[in-house]
A and B are shown apart, each in its own frame.
Chain A
Amino acid sequence: AQSVTQPDIHITVSEGASLELRCNYSYGATPYLFWYVQSPGQGLQLLLKYFSGDTLVQGIKGFEAEFKRSQSSFNLRKPSVHWSDAAEYFCAVGAGNFGNEKLTFGTGTRLTIIP
């Protein structure tokens, strides 16, 4: 069965510093990978997705992620974080019977930004 691991439960970074959130997946076939962000009490907003092709994908809000098949990883990065980036981040793999209609999520990484 597919699974997603986000090893960091909580990360604290200074405003302006770079950020990397880790995500490892386990999936037998070609993975379809997503990063979502959730602000407190809100739904999930899509940051970026990887389906195929270029392994470095660009998303919204200045985020990017790199797919590394050899490491089964899909880490999220941002060169300089802003206070508004404080939120919870979820990595997910699409694993439905017909495609990505069913997502399996990691446990999330809570990001705190300090001035």
Chain B
Amino acid sequence: KAGVTQTPRYLIKTRGQQVTLSCSPISGHRSVSWYQQTPGQGLQFLFEYFSETQRNKGNFPGRFSGRQFSNSRSEMNVSTLELGDSALYLCATGLAGGNTDTQYFGPGTRLTVL
């Protein structure tokens, strides 16, 4: 079974631009969660989608948004990029997010904002 796929793996953008990251889940997984990882803040939860609906949301500004498609693939978008948005963005997928569910992570997208 193929793992979680994230594209692109690396991105370089400048301040003020916007960026879209993609996550393709493991076959059969319907829950997709996004995390931001930085040296200073560690791993922080952004949001989670299930059946094309956002079910959980972390404490990030509205510049960070996401969506999920009917095939469970998810995208996250960051508008008006700031230098502090430079991070490794990880997505994790699971079956449905129940108490016995397990999150499996992709390799991440490394975003650098100049």
Q: Report A's interface with B, CB cutoff 8 A.
A: 32, 34, 36, 41-46, 49, 51, 90, 94, 96-108
Docked-complex contact B45 and A100, CB < 8 angstroms: no
Q: Which listed residue, A34, A100, A105, A106, touches B97 by the CB 8 Å rule? A: A100
Distance (whole angstroms) from the CB of A42 to the closest CB of chain B: 6
B98: Cβ under 8 A from any A Cβ: yes
Which residues of B50-84 are within 8 A (CB) of A?
50, 55-56, 58
- Name A96's contact: one of B4, B43, B55, B104 (CB within 8 Å): B55
Contact A45 B98 (CB under 8 A): no
Chain B residues in the interface with A (C-beta under 8 A): 4, 6, 31, 33, 35, 42-43, 45, 48, 50, 55-56, 58, 90, 92, 94, 96-108, 110
A51 to B100, CA, bound (A): 7
A-B residue pair count with CB separations less than 8 angstroms: 83
Give the docked Cα–Cα distance between A46 and B56 (Å): 22
Q: Give the dominant DSSP class at A's interface.
A: loop
